[in-house]
């Protein structure tokens, strides 16, 4: 069974620091990877997508993918209280469906 | 960017009734839409894949006769929860693949069965 694993947290980070979120997945042939942010009671919103090995940067966010290690991470620089949310890692295992991790709850401490 | 509209945003129904949730892609055509359910403090669980013009594909353990999915056009998919019971209370979210092959989510429907 194809799986996506995340540390559920909670992860507490001081305001202005770097938040590091990690995700591992079970299938080497996975094609695309996504990070979503979900506020309580709301639906997920896309933060980043990444398809090839290496880093991808968008503003304060950087996604890192290592297919050999089956590992994808999200770094949030200059963390703000508004970044406090649950971050969901999702993987497309090549069948058009997204499989989600359980999410990591992030709290930014002012 | 791609927009997916979902209605209603919340609904309260009596046990035994049926409720329909609509999911529309507003600025793109979606041949495939996805329906998820999310219980409190849990992740999204895929219920079914909705395919335009054909039957939906349900995930293992999801009752197809209870959760009816219709994808009659390239911009509209509906989920009907039939004979709903309190254990069906959950947050239901639809998603569609947009033209850039990303996944856009609707705003979700909070369903409460009393």
Tens of pLDDT, residues B52-101: 888 899 999 999 999 999 988 889 999 999 999 999 999 999 999 876 76
pLDDT score, position B101:
65
Write out the two tokens for B111. Answer: 């369903």
Q: Note whether B43 contacts A102, CB cutoff 8 Å.
A: yes
Write out the two tokens for A26. Answer: 């079970």
**B15-65 pLDDT tens trace:** 999 999 999 999 888 888 999 999 998 989 999 998 888 889 999 999 999
Work out the widest C-alpha separation in chain B, in whole angstroms. 41
Average pLDDT over residues A23-28: 89
pLDDT score, position A13:
97
Write out the two tokens for B64. Answer: 């197809």
φ and ψ at A81, to 5 degrees? -55, -30
Chain B hits for A98, Cβ within 8 Å: 34, 46, 95, 103
User: What's the sign of the alpha-carbon dihedral B82, B83, B85, B87?
Assistant: negative
Q: Is the pLDDT of residue A44 over 90?
A: yes
User: Which chain A residue's Cα is nearest to B102?
Assistant: A49
Q: Note whether B34 contacts A34, CB cutoff 8 Å.
A: no
Average pLDDT, chain A: 93
Task: Indicate the pLDDT class of residue A60, thresholds 50, 70 and 90.
Answer: very high
Q: Is the pLDDT of residue B108 over 80?
A: yes
How many CB pairs (< 8 A) connect A and B?
43
Is the N-terminal amide bond of B8 cis, ω within 30° of 0? yes
Q: Which of B24, B28, B23 is nearest to B92 (CA)?
A: B23
Chain A hits for B108, Cβ within 8 Å: 42-43
Q: Note whether A42 contacts B104, CB cutoff 8 Å.
A: no
Rounded distance between C-alpha atoms, residue B5 and residue B33, angstroms: 12
Rounded distance between C-alpha atoms, residue A100 and residue A6, angstroms: 9
Q: Note whether A98 contacts B34, CB cutoff 8 Å.
A: yes
Question: Using an 8 Å Cβ cutoff, are A50 and A39 in contact?
Answer: no
B60 in A contact zone (CB under 8 Å): no
Q: Parallel, antiparallel, or unpaired for β A45-50 and A98-100?
A: unpaired
Residue given tokens 């850039």 in the structure block: B100
Continuous segment of H or E residues that includes residue B7: strand B4-7
Chain B hits for A3, Cβ within 8 Å: none
Rounded distance between C-alpha atoms, residue A43 and residue A39, angstroms: 7
Q: How many CB atoms lie within 10 A of CB B101?
A: 11
Q: Note whether A46 contacts B44, CB cutoff 8 Å.
A: no
Rounded distance between C-alpha atoms, residue A40 and residue A81, angstroms: 14
Q: Enter the DSSP assignment of B85.
A: -
Write out the two tokens for B10. Answer: 């919340």
Rounded distance between C-alpha atoms, residue A88 and residue B85, angstroms: 29
A25 in B contact zone (CB under 8 Å): no
């Amino acid at each position: 069974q194809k799986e996506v694993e995340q540390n559920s947290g909670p992860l507490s980070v001081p305001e202005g620091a770097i938040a590091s979120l990690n995700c591992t997945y079970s299938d080497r042939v996975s094609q695309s990877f996504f990070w979503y942010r979900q506020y309580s009671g709301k639906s997920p919103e896309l933060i980043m997508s990444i398809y090839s090995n290496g880093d991808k940067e968008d503003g304060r966010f950087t996604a890192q993918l290592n297919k050999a290690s089956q590992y994808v991470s999200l770094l949030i620089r200059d963390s703000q209280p508004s970044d406090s949310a649950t971050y969901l890692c999702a993987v497309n295992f090549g069948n058009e469906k997204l499989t989600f991790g359980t999410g990591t709850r992030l709290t930014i401490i002012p | 960017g791609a927009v997916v509209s979902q209605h209603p945003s919340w609904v309260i129904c009596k046990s035994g009734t049926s409720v329909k949730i609509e999911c529309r892609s507003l600025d793109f055509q979606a041949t495939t839409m996805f329906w998820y359910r999310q219980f409190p403090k849990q992740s999204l669980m895929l219920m079914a894949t909705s395919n335009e013009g054909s039957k939906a594909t349900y995930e293992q353990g999801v009752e197809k006769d209870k959760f009816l999915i219709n994808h009659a056009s390239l911009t509209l998919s509906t989920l009907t929860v039939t004979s709903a019971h309190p254990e069906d209370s959950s947050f239901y979210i639809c998603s569609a693949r947009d033209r850039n092959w990303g996944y856009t989510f609707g705003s979700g429907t909070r369903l409460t069965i009393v």
